[in-house]
């Protein structure tokens, strides 16, 4: 099975614009969080995690809730209506 996969001989090089954006993002995050203590960073991480998971749960709830509503509307949408194009 290993014979199917060839080892990469030259190292993978990211595009310079990607590396520049990555460096700018890291510098900006370092500037924003540079004056925070470890406790404040942990609380910020917990807040972010709670907000992100809350948004995920809300999105899942809305998608399944809309699916139930859409199945009730599907009965009305499945009626075939003819269009008379002749004038």
pLDDT tens for 19-73 read: 999 999 999 999 999 999 999 999 999 999 999 999 999 999 988 887 666 555 5
5-28 core/surface letters (b: 16 or more CB in 10 A; e: else): eeeeeeeeeeeeeeeeeeeeeeee
Is 3 a residue whose pLDDT tops 70?
A: no
Q: Check residue 2 and give its pLDDT.
A: 63
Q: What pLDDT score was predicted for residue 29? A: 93
Question: Is the pTM for the entire model greater than 0.75?
Answer: no
> Residue 20: its pLDDT value, please?
97
Give the sign of the dihedral formed by CA 55, CA 61, CA 64, CA 70: negative
* Average pLDDT score over residue span 4-9: 78
pLDDT confidence of residue 85: 73
Distance from C-alpha of 62 to C-alpha of 71, rounded to nearest angstrom: 14
């Amino acid at each position: 099975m290993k014979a199917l996969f060839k080892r990469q001989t030259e190292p993978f090089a990211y595009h310079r614009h990607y590396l520049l954006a990555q460096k700018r993002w890291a510098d900006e995050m370092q500037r924003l969080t540079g004056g925070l203590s470890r406790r404040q960073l942990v609380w910020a991480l917990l807040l972010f995690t709670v907000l992100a998971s809350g948004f995920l749960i809300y999105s899942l709830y809305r998608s399944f809730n809309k699916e139930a509503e859409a199945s009730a509307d599907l009965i009305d949408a499945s009626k075939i209506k003819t269009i008379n194009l002749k004038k």
